[in-house]
Structure formats: C-alpha cells, structure tokens
Amino acid sequence: MKVSLFVTCLVDQFFPDAGASTVRLLRRYGCDVSFPPGQTCCGQPAFNSGYVNAAREAAKNHYKNFADADYIVSPSGSCTGMVHHYYRELFADDPVMLEKVSAMVDKTYEFSQFMVNVLGVEDVGATFPHRVTYHPACHGMRLLGIQEEPMRLLRAIRDIELIELPKAEDCCGFGGTFSVKLSDISGAMVTEKSEHIEETRAEYLISTDMGCLMNINGNLRRRGSKVKIMHLAELLYHASADK
C-alpha cells in the first residue's frame, strides 16, 4: 500500500517527531510511505482569514504534490478537514481542476481514521501505565467527523488510565490566526481548557492536532503545570516501539 505523507507545515517546523511517529507506525502495517518534498501548506491559515487567492496557490501546490498518490495520510485533523471541507469550493469555478482535486480529496485521510478504518488497526501493542486525557480537536471532529477512532486506539493501550476531559468538546481557543488576532479571548478559552485538564490530574494530554496541542501546551507551561502533551501518533509509536 503506497501512502504519501502530508506532514503539515506546523508538524514540519515545530513537531517533527509526530511526523516521524506517523511514518514508522504506517510502515509497520505494510505501508510504503513516501514524502513529497515539494509540499508546503494546505492553505488553511489563508483561507480561514479570508485570503482565498493565497489559499488557492497553496492548494494548487498541494495538489501538484499529491495528485499521483494512492493514499494521502496526515497527522492533522484540521488540515485534512480543510482539504475535505473547502478544497472543492476553492476550485468551484474551474471544472477541470475541480474534478482532479476532488479525486485527490477522496484519497486524503487523517492519521487515526486511516489506522482504524483503512488499515483496520486498533491495537498497536502499546503499553503506557499513565493517567491520560484526550482532547478532541474541533475541525477534526466537526469538519471531518472523527469520533471514535482516536478513542479506539487509546483504549487498546495496555495499563493506560484514560480519564474523560470535562467539556472535552469545547474549543481550546487556537483557531489559527484567531489565537493572535483576538488573543485575549483565545487566552480565556485556553485557560479554561487548561483548568479542565488539570482537574483530571492527568499526566499526559493527547490529541490528533498539533495546533491545539501547541496552544494548550503553551498555556499549561505558563501555568507551571506538569502535564505533558503528545500527538496520538507519538504516543502510539513510543509506547509500542521495540526498545
């Protein structure tokens, strides 16, 4: 099975280990993983701020890099959500591109959805005897429909103590440029999210989105919290890697 990795700009620059963990896990289950080096960004920051032309340039480059892929997998619910939910809109006026881009969109998967629904894997043989709580990233949940997949992967981890996060479905306040444009409102939102995380007394916070994790982690660190963040792929990989 040939898989092209859509690493996302955020993971590339700030959280490369999440990308590496994704690659290693996919390879274990028979995927031949390639990494189109020309990829840049899906265009979401521009699109969500109203800069459609800039977003389209990014989308064209994205298409160029992934047009020939069999499967495209990304460790980001929000970037995958952008592709699924808005890419067709970006090319609505160009029927030829629209058809080509649509085909690419249909081959694009978020990491946990790909593991569970395509590879059929829920148990990676991980052991993690720690208190863990999970934050369902908004775009992944509401644009892509990610529901049970991350939980299935988490529940299969041996010795893990999964604690439900209060008001889990409330937004962490990242929203891309929202976090800097209306930073005080964003700050209030992430503060409440941090408070809920601390209520769980979890040692680790897991999510499918580094945007959320970066945002929450920043606030947790400021608060002097001991909670550590991990991308779901990082947790699954490191908790099951051959030592």
Ranges within 44-63 binding other proteins (CB under 8 A) = 45-58, 60-61
Q: Within the chain, how many helices (H) and strands (E) appear?
A: 13, 8
- Interface pick for other proteins out of 69, 72, 124, 154 (rule CB under 8 A): 124
| 8 Å CB contact between 138 and 171 | yes
192 forms part of the interface with other proteins (CB under 8 A): yes
The CB-of-49 to other proteins minimum distance in angstroms stands at 6
User: Which lies closer to other proteins via its Cβ, residue 162 or residue 214?
Assistant: 214
- Interface pick for other proteins out of 68, 99, 169, 195 (rule CB under 8 A): 169
**238 vs 6: CA distance, rounded Å:** 21
67 forms part of the interface with other proteins (CB under 8 A): no
Stretch that binds other proteins, among 20-28, 95-103, 105-113, 196-204 (CB under 8 A): 20-28
- Interface pick for other proteins out of 12, 67, 151, 228 (rule CB under 8 A): 12
| 8 Å CB contact between 240 and 127 | yes
The CB-of-93 to other proteins minimum distance in angstroms stands at 14
Strand partners, 228: 204
**104 vs 60: CA distance, rounded Å:** 11
188 forms part of the interface with other proteins (CB under 8 A): yes
User: Which lies closer to other proteins via its Cβ, residue 131 or residue 218?
Assistant: 218
166 forms part of the interface with other proteins (CB under 8 A): no
- Interface pick for other proteins out of 4, 6, 19, 66 (rule CB under 8 A): 19
The CA-to-CA distance between both ends of the chain, in Å, stands at 27
219 forms part of the interface with other proteins (CB under 8 A): yes
- Interface pick for other proteins out of 4, 6, 23, 160 (rule CB under 8 A): 23
Q: Residue 44 belongs to what H/E stretch? A: helix 44-48
Label residues 69-97 b or e (16+ Cβ within 10 Å = b). Answer: bebbbbbbbbbbbbbbbbbeebbeeeeeb
